[in-house]
A and B are shown apart, each in its own frame.
Chain A
Amino acid sequence: MYQGMAAVSGSFAKMGMLRASQDVDFGITGYQEYTLFGQKLYFTTTHISIIIVMLALIIFAVIANRKIKKADPNKVPGTFLNIVEYMVQAIDDLTLTNMGTKHGAKFSNYIGTIFIFILLSNISGLFGLRPPTADYGTTLALALITFVMIHYNGFKYQKASHVTNLFKPLLLTPINIIGEIATPISMSLRLFGNILSGTVMMGLIYGLLPKIITLVWPGFLHAYFDVFSGAIQTYVFCMLTMVFISNTFEED
Chain B
Amino acid sequence: MSSIILASSGVLEASEGMAGRIFGLDLQMIVDAGILALAVLALFTLLSYLLFNPARELMRKRQEKIQSEMDSATTQKAEAEAFKAEYDSKLKGVNKEAEEILSQTRKKALKKETEIVEEAKVEATRIIDRANKEAELEKSKMKDEVKQEMISVASIMAGKIISTSINETEQSKLIEDTLKEMGDDTWQS
Q: Which residue numbers of A lie inside 8 Å of B, CB to CB?
A: 23, 25-33, 36-37, 39-42, 44-50, 54, 57-58, 60-62, 64-65, 68-69, 71, 73-74, 84-85, 88-89, 91-92, 108-110, 112-114, 116-117, 128-130, 132, 135-138, 140-142, 144-145, 196, 200, 202-203, 206
Contacts and interface: CB of A to CB of B under 8 A. Distances in A.
A85 B43 CA distance: 19
A91 B47 CA distance: 13
A108 B54 contact: no
B51 A42 contact: no
B82 to A, nearest CB: 29
Contact of A141 (B23, B34, B47, B51): B34
Contact of A30 (B17, B39, B51): B17
Given A88-B59, A203-B1, A40 B31 contact: no
Interface residues of B, number: 51
Interface of B: 1-7, 12-15, 17-24, 27-37, 39-41, 43-44, 46-48, 50-59, 61-62, 65
A109 B33 contact: no
Contacts of A50: 36, 39
Contacts of B29: 136-137, 140
A135 B20 contact: no
Main secondary structure of the interface of A (DSSP, over half): helix
Given A109-B47, A144-B33, A196 B22 contact: yes
A31 B41 CA distance: 25
Given A31-B15, A141-B36, A42 B28 contact: yes
A69 B23 contact: no
A200 B1 CA distance: 11
Given A41-B28, A64-B54, A132-B36, 4 more contacts: A25-B1, A47-B32, A85-B59, A137-B35
Please provide the 7 A-B residue pairs with the shortest distance between their CB atoms, ordered closest to farther. A137-B32, A30-B18, A27-B20, A141-B36, A141-B33, A61-B50, A73-B61
A219 B87 CA distance: 72
A42 B40 contact: no
Main secondary structure of the interface of B (DSSP, over half): helix
Pick from B31, B35, B36, B37 the residue with the most CB of A within 10 Å: B36
Contacts of A117: 40, 43
26 contacts: A27-B21, A29-B19, A30-B15, A30-B19, A30-B21, A33-B15, A40-B17, A42-B15, A42-B18, A46-B32, A47-B32, A50-B36, A54-B43, A58-B43, A73-B62, A73-B65, A109-B44, A112-B47, A113-B47, A130-B3, A132-B36, A137-B35, A141-B32, A141-B40, A145-B40, A196-B22
Contact of B43 (A27, A108, A113, A206): A113
A135 B19 CA distance: 14
Contacts of B46: 58, 61
Contact of B12 (A32, A108, A110): A32
A233 B158 CA distance: 167
A109 B4 CA distance: 36
A48 B12 CA distance: 10
Contact of A64 (B15, B43, B50, B61): B50
Contact of A144 (B7, B23, B37, B55): B37
Given A42-B28, A44-B32, A116-B47, A25 B55 contact: no
A73 B58 contact: yes
Contacts of A28: 18, 20-22
A172 B46 CA distance: 43
